[in-house]
Amino acid sequence: MAPAKLIKSNPENKSEVWEFDNHFRKKWLYKDEPWLEKHYEMLKDTCGDVYVKNFGFNETEMWLDTNKLPGKLATTFDFTPEFIERISRFCLEQYKKTKPFAHFDWDLNNIIISDNNISLVDWDNYGMYSEGQVLDKMKADLKKSFGDKLIENIFFVDKEEYEAKNNASSEKLKFVLELYSEYWKNPPIVEIYINDVSKYKSMIKGTKDSPDIISFEHDFKEGEKWTLVIDRYNKTEKETNFINGKILNDQLLHIKNINIDDIDIGSLVFKGLYTPNYPKRWAIQQKQAGIELPKTLKNVTIMGHNGRWVFEAESPFYMWLLENLY
């Protein structure tokens, strides 16, 4: 048996990749058992035993073993129009199978081709993302590889299923959201959904005195339970600056006001449930300090981390409003 060989090292992320005779080992030079156990189970559900082999820990490290898949890297093929379309459609179809979860790293070095079979490897970023985030990242990754040869209209989202849902609608509601941000480097990006239908996506640059005003309409069936979702992203660890342990600069998103059907929902905004996506290294530091970070938060109108805010209601909205206001 040949000795293991180090083939990749990332000091910034404290990770390494080792090659063995029949498998690879992704090693992290820190320990986060709950994350790795959850990550392993997610990969088992998605990829099965064909890809995932095992995982383990010691006092200071953790690792994930994956089988070597037959085939060649996508980088070794000629970038013909047919090949580019094949890879693009594979990435889209793979996302449809795992949605709302996504691989989220479509670098060609993570794509293995064996005859008619295409597989993804390196699932470190596998998680739940909004459809807008997924398509933007997928296009950016493939554009980086294929340049202007990429056929971008492949990534347009088919809305027919959403339109079909609206054919039997009983009421049309108008939504007006007032959002603003605090930032010093890059503003937050927001995508707003009704259920799974994207209604708005843009950077939020408004201020407290002059917020960004987002307005749209949506049709609902009588008795339909629905969700208003604010996906907030575009915050990296570099967006927060500390001096002597105190935050000097940060990136924050504020929900100033929400108006539905010409009614200010007022304090009902606090019914929204915020699921923050904590920065991994910071979350580990908090855990080591004995601080248990909550998975979800209520009574939140300031979103300091990337994440999702969800407000649930029901049609007819006026009846739901009366039941929940009083």
CB-side exposure of 212: number of CA atoms within 13 Å? 19
Q: What is the pLDDT of residue 154?
A: 66
Q: What is the pLDDT of residues 53-71, one digit of tens each?
A: 999 999 999 999 999 999 9
Domain at 5-67: CATH architecture: 2-Layer Sandwich (3.30)
Q: What is the pLDDT of residue 240?
A: 86
Q: What is the pLDDT of residue 184?
A: 92
Q: What residue segments make up the domains of the chain, in order of their start?
A: 5-67, 72-155, 167-325
Could you please state the CATH topology (level 3) that the domain comprising 72-155 is classified under.
Answer: Transferase(Phosphotransferase); domain 1 (1.10.510)
Is the Cβ–Cβ distance between 2 and 21 less than 8 Å?
yes
Q: What is the pLDDT of residue 153?
A: 62
- Low-confidence residues in the chain, pLDDT < 70: 1, 152-169, 326
Q: What is the pLDDT of residue 323?
A: 81
- HEC letters along the chain: CCCCEEEEEECCCCEEEEECCCEEEEEECCCCHHHHHHHHHHHHHHHHHHCEEEEEECCCCEEEEEECCCCEEHHHCCCCHHHHHHHHHHHHHHHHHHCCEECCCCCHHHEEEECCEEEECCCCCCEECCHHHHHHHHHHHHHHHHHHHCCHHHHCCCCHHHHHHHCCCCEEEEEEEEEEEECCCCCCEEEEEECCEEEEEEECCCCCCCCEEEEEEEEECCCCEEEEEEEEECCCHHHCEEECCEEEECCEEEEEEEEECCEECHHHHHHCEEEECCCHHHHHHHHHCCCCCCCCECCCCEECCCEEEEEEEECCHHHHHHHHHC
* CA 221, chain centre distance (Å): 29
Could you please state the CATH topology (level 3) that the domain comprising 167-325 is classified under.
Answer: Lipoxygenase-1 (2.60.60)
Q: What is the pLDDT of residue 165?
A: 42
What are the angstrom distances between the C-alpha of 146 and each of 29, 74, 80, 292?
34, 11, 10, 43
91, burial (CB in 10 Å: exposed 0-12, middle 13-18, buried 19+): buried
Q: What is the pLDDT of residue 247?
A: 80
Q: Under 8 Å CB-to-CB from 152, ≥6 apart: which residues?
A: 139, 143
